[in-house]
Amino acid sequence: MKKLASLFLIASMMAACTACGGSDVIPADTDSTADTTEAVTTDDGLIHDDLGDIRFEGETFTMWLFADTVTGYIMEEETGEVFDDAVYARNRAVEERLGIKLKFNQSGLGASGEEQGQSCRMIENNILAGDTTNDVYLHVQHSSMPQLVNNHYFVDWNTIPNIDLTKPYWAGNAVNDINYGSKIYLMTGLYDHSVLSGAYCLFFNKNILDEVNIEYPYAMVEDGTWTYDKWKEIITATSRDLNGDGKFDYDNDRYGYFGYLWESPYPFFVGMGGDLLTKDQNNLPVNVIATEHNVDIIDRLLEVAFNIQGSTIAANVNDMFRVFTEGRAATIHAALSFAPDNFRDMEDDFGFVPPPKYDEAQKDYNVWIVNTSLMTYVPTTNTRLPLTGAVLEIMAMESYNRVIPAYIDTVLTIKSTRDTESEAMVPYIIDRASFFDHALHHLIELPSCILGNVGLATFYARNESKIEDFIETLTETYR
């Protein structure tokens, strides 16, 4: 794994509900756990940027959002909701500090896979037409975005003035996890809360575990014994053919595990230490797809999908939501955001922990940040890089101080958890979260192994030439 340092020091932020911690950008050539240093705070207990008195009087700064469902940006007035009001206050603070007006353009599209591709084409068309309307584009990490990076449509963040990526309000792990060489094309800061809410964990139904007298996995997480084998024992012990017809179906039976085809393979793979690309001595990509460890992880994934009774992986996420909320799935993979958004009215009690490790020898738990968490792409059509840097820097800083404490306290904790152990898991999970490089997403989707019931080595062999060609292009982009 390229990443092994904490994303942000969220635990300290939660403790005081103010910004009081942070992590440095990981050195580009690191491959081991990096130390995090406490961010310097002032007498007001907040983190501050170093821009001083900087103004861009009368300018309008425009951020383009890839889907109309994106939250945490557009807030025209206070609503009385703590998180909404924090977003509103953040936006006003940025405008007043710089003397500007923030504007948010929406794509007019939803967030489905097909619409993600459509919005990618919108970005490409805008850039090729020389359209300077949008100063930055906010989009996902996958879909066609890696190809647009390789087409040199975006600015290297090293060339943007007024940004200090060593500040704790930037996602320092992104520098190491999803960029190569000395260049940075994919980056985000805490103005996008999805880098926290998109941390994937394993949810479990407490009522079902109680019924079969299985201890909640909190203690196993703490003592390092929460592994694939322990999870498999839970799956086997909790599945039930409730109607006795000799087969499992979504409407009648109880599953030990219910996965979602297009996302669950990634927290499974990343959680057990899987990776597709690592780095050489020059910080450039190295193909590690068909290693023995990766192949074995995918074999386990296929076991869960096909060979364990009462375990399934479905193509429709709504099937997973329904079965879990109806109390007929013992475990599922889901993002932290699913708790307040999808499970809030669930009658059965639930908890959540990090995805299990490969085995007890694995050093720590690894948490996948969903690939729909947003990156900020600065187009080559941007002619106002000093303004762009100042806006993003101050917006990230204000979000760290205002928005994220409100989001963690009221959304990820009060609205998401049902016990003190889960509350403690929120910072624990976030501090182990990493960005998984989805540059190869269009060539080697892990769900494809399930769709074809084929091992990783075989799938790679069928696509090796295309994959190697793309990695060569990726290397040239960052070289």
pLDDT digits (tens, 9 = 90+) for 153-187: 999 999 999 999 999 999 989 999 999 999 999 99
The pair of structure tokens assigned to 346 is 């669930």
Pair 186, 254 in one domain: no
83 and 228 in a common domain = no
The domain that contains 279 carries what CATH number? 3.40.190.10
Rounded Cα distance, 265 and 334, in Å: 11
Number of domains in the chain: 2
Q: Is residue 321 part of a domain?
A: yes
Q: Are residues 105 and 184 in the same domain?
A: yes
Query: Of the candidates 420, 116, 437, which has an alpha carbon nearest to the alpha carbon of residue 269?
Result: 437
Confidence of residue 41 (pLDDT cuts 50, 70, 90): low
Asked whether residue 77 falls in the same domain as residue 91, the answer is yes
Alpha-carbon span 476 to 460, nearest angstrom: 22
| Same domain as 223, residue 179 | no
| 163 in any annotated domain | yes
Flag the least confident range among 202-206, 318-322, 406-410: 406-410
Positive or negative, the Cα torsion across 392, 393, 397, 400?
Answer: positive
pLDDT at 352 over 60: yes
Q: What is the DSSP letter of 117?
A: H
Number of Cβ within 10 Å of residue 279's Cβ equals: 18
Give the chain's mean pLDDT: 90
Residue 340 lies in a domain: yes
Q: Is 478 contained in some domain?
A: no
Other beta carbons within 10 Å of 310: 20
Please tell me which residue, 43 or 279, carries the higher pLDDT value: 279
- Whether the model clears a pTM of 0.85, i.e. scores above it, the answer is yes
Quick check: is 18 in a domain? Answer: no
- Helix, strand, coil proportions of the chain in percent (round to 5)? 40, 15, 45
Asked, for residue 2, whether it belongs to a domain, the answer is: no
Contacts 24+ apart (CB under 8 A), 42-47: 45/16, 45/18, 45/19, 45/20, 46/18, 46/19, 46/401, 47/19, 47/20, 47/22, 47/167, 47/168, 47/169, 47/397, 47/400, 47/401
Q: Which of 242, 254, 294 is nearest to 302 (CA)?
A: 294
Rounded to the nearest 10°, the torsion over CA 242, 248, 252, 255 is 80
Instruction: Name residue, tokens 């958890």.
Output: 417
pLDDT higher than 70, residue 20 = no
On whether both 342 and 260 belong to a single domain, the answer is yes
My answer on whether 190 and 204 are in the same domain is no
The answer to whether 372 touches 262, Cβ cutoff 8 Å, is no
For residues 135 and 40, which has the higher predicted lDDT (pLDDT)?
135
Percentage of the chain modeled with pLDDT above 70: 91
Most confident region among 3-12, 120-129, 332-341 by mean pLDDT: 120-129
Residues 103 and 162 in one domain: yes
How many whole angstroms separate alpha carbon 18 and alpha carbon 21?
Answer: 9
Query: Is the pLDDT score of 322 beyond 50?
Result: yes
Residues 60 and 186 in one domain: yes
Q: Residue 269's domain spans which residues?
A: 200-368+443-466
Cβ contact 371:438 at 8 Å: yes
Mean pLDDT of 268-288: 95
Burial class (CB in 10 A: 0-12, 13-18, 19+), 9: buried
5 in a structural domain? no
CA proximity to 411, closest of 187, 85, 94, 102: 85
